[in-house]
Amino acid sequence: MSPTELWQSLPEMLRDPVALAIPFFLVAVVLEAVAALLLEDERPAEARVAPDGRPIPLPGQYARKDAMASMLMGLVSVGTTGLLKAGALVVYAVLFAYVAPWHLPTDAWWSWALVILVVDFLFYWTHRVAHRVRLVWATHQAHHSSAYFTFATALRQKWNNTHDLVIWLPLPILGVPPAMIFAAFSLNLVYQFFVHTERVDRLWRPIELVFNTPSHHRVHHGCDPEYLDRNYAGILIVWDRLFGSFQEEIRRPTYGLTKPMLSTNIWTLQTHEYAAIARDVRSAATWREKLGYVFGPPGWTPAAQAPATSAAAPAGADAA
């Protein structure tokens, strides 16, 4: 049976790799949480809170409300991003059918390898833009809002994937079947789930050189100055090494946003930066300032103004 025939033999609702992986995600969350309970040290709770109010979790520690917020955000994300993908599918299908000069075969291994590689390359740049353009950061920051770094954090996903869908537009025009685009991205997300953990130390050096690993992604979620805006990789860390955004893990990161979000209300976590943008735009004196607050990097302010007062700044920032 060819890969295409095997794929088509699955029920429609199970053709998304993310849907297939959900049971494994849940098992991983439970195992990691049990390990955290068994290995937790005797440090008193009052010693685990930073001066800014954010918790200082033990490695791999779970907080019930935080983990529940992450999982609820992931559940809602499945629905909202699914609706947006359905709309994009119509556009992609038209472009693929009527604009593409040729069609990439779906039954050749090299086609899948090529598409997975190209989607991973686009993910790197999509993710990098999400950390450097405030309007896009406003939806992505939710993923970085937790002070904990666990498999549950991987499920703390954004609700608006419009930015991704726009970035992928050239692919159907170039002849990539829409189903392959979505499948490749889903495989990318499944891979990234397993790099959201402190229970795995550094891996064999050749793997660390080529692939995104838990060590690399811990850096990405750090809000420490040396870790900000680093390690955007999805599957391959080589993109960060090639384009100058790589940072080695030199110490355990401080996770979360530079200005901590202590709320566990999922609506607040998803929307607070949009509200901050609206406040800044209303207070701006010129159109240049208004555009800067929307399309500039997070934390941008007019040159003559005092340091930024916006609600969130980049948190070392995707993972998936």
pLDDT of residue 34: 80
Look at residue 164 and tell me if it is in a domain: yes
Domain hosting residue 163, numbered range: 10-295
Structure tokens at 150: 């666990």
Residue 151 CA: distances (Å) to CA of 98, 163, 270 = 42, 24, 19
8 Å CB contact between 66 and 264: yes
Query: What pLDDT band is residue 46 in, cutting at 50, 70 and 90?
Result: low
Look at residue 312 and tell me if it is in a domain: no
To the nearest 10°, the Cα dihedral for 143, 145, 148, 152?
-30
pLDDT of residue 201: 94
Look at residue 306 and tell me if it is in a domain: no
Amino acid letter, residue 256: G
Structure tokens at 82: 């699914």
* Letter string b/e over residues 238-271, b meaning 16 or more CB atoms within 10 A of that residue's CB: bbbeeeebbbebeeebbbbbbbbbeebebeebbe
Look at residue 317 and tell me if it is in a domain: no
The mean predicted confidence, pLDDT, of the chain is 88
8 Å CB contact between 288 and 278: no
pLDDT of residue 4: 55
- Residue-wise pLDDT for 253-281, tens only, equals 999 999 999 999 999 999 999 999 999 99
pLDDT of residue 240: 98
For the chain, the farthest-separated pair of C-alpha atoms sits apart, in whole angstroms, at 66
Query: What pLDDT band is residue 317 in, cutting at 50, 70 and 90?
Result: very low
Query: What pLDDT band is residue 70 in, cutting at 50, 70 and 90?
Result: very high
User: Is the pLDDT reported for residue 85 higher than 60?
Assistant: yes
Percent of the residues in the chain that have a pLDDT greater than 70, as a whole number: 86
> Considering its fold, how many domains does the chain have in total?
1
Structure tokens at 69: 């917020």
Map residue 234 onto helix, strand or coil: coil
Structure tokens at 233: 């990789």
Look at residue 303 and tell me if it is in a domain: no
Mean pLDDT of 248-257: 96
pLDDT of residue 313: 47
pLDDT of residue 311: 42
User: Is the pLDDT reported for residue 192 higher than 90?
Assistant: yes
CA distance 60 to 316: 19
CA distance 295 to 273: 13
Number of helical H runs and strand E runs in the chain: 14, 0
Mean pLDDT of 132-140: 97
pLDDT of residue 156: 96
- Residue-wise pLDDT for 8-40, tens only, equals 544 444 457 776 777 777 788 888 888 777 766
pLDDT of residue 45: 58
β-sheet bridge partners, residue 49: 55
pLDDT of residue 304: 46
Look at residue 57 and tell me if it is in a domain: yes
18 CB burial (10 A radius; 0-12, 13-18, 19+): buried
Mean pLDDT of 233-260: 96
What is the number of other CB atoms lying within 10 angstroms of the CB of residue 205?
8
Structure tokens at 264: 């566990």
User: Is the pLDDT reported for residue 306 higher than 60?
Assistant: no
8 Å CB contact between 131 and 232: yes
Lowest pLDDT segment from 37-51, 100-114, 166-180, 194-208: 37-51
8 Å CB contact between 295 and 134: yes
pLDDT of residue 308: 44
- Give the DSSP H/E element, type plus range, for residue 171: helix 170-173
Look at residue 255 and tell me if it is in a domain: yes
